[in-house]
Amino acid sequence: MSKIRRINLCFDMRRSEDREVYNLLKSKRNKTAYVVDVILKNKELESSVVTVDKDTLRNIFEEVLNQTHIVFKDTKNKEKITEDIDIPADIFNIIDNI
């Protein structure tokens, strides 16, 4: 049994992404080494992605906002609100929609 394996790829030249990749591969001298390198680097990047649950992200976001001194402005009355107020819940709803 041969130790060399072959995979055939098809590119739809009507799609810009396919056309771009085809032209890139066509320009490479050692296509196999290039594909191996790209796939292994992509796999390495995927494994280094840090996942954070929404509650942790919410806590981090809240801590950062509490450490910054944000002055809220009442858009109707055009006055600055200087007293301490809680961070509006709408800000945290952004996190839930991620």
pLDDT computed for residue 73 by the predictor? 60
Q: Are 36 and 44 in contact (CB under 8 A)?
A: no
pLDDT computed for residue 16 by the predictor? 95
* Residues in Cβ contact with 76 at an 8 Å cutoff, skipping those fewer than 6 apart: none
The per-residue pLDDT for range 51-73, each reduced to its tens digit, is 778 888 778 877 777 777 666 56
Q: pLDDT averaged over consecutive 10-residue blocks of the chain (98 residues)?
A: 89 96 95 94 84 79 73 60 57 65
Residue by residue, DSSP assigns the chain as --S---------TTSHHHHHHHHHHHH-SSHHHHHHHHHHHHHHHHHTPPP--HHHHHHHHHHHHHHS-PPEEETTTTEEE-S--PPPHHHHHHHHT-
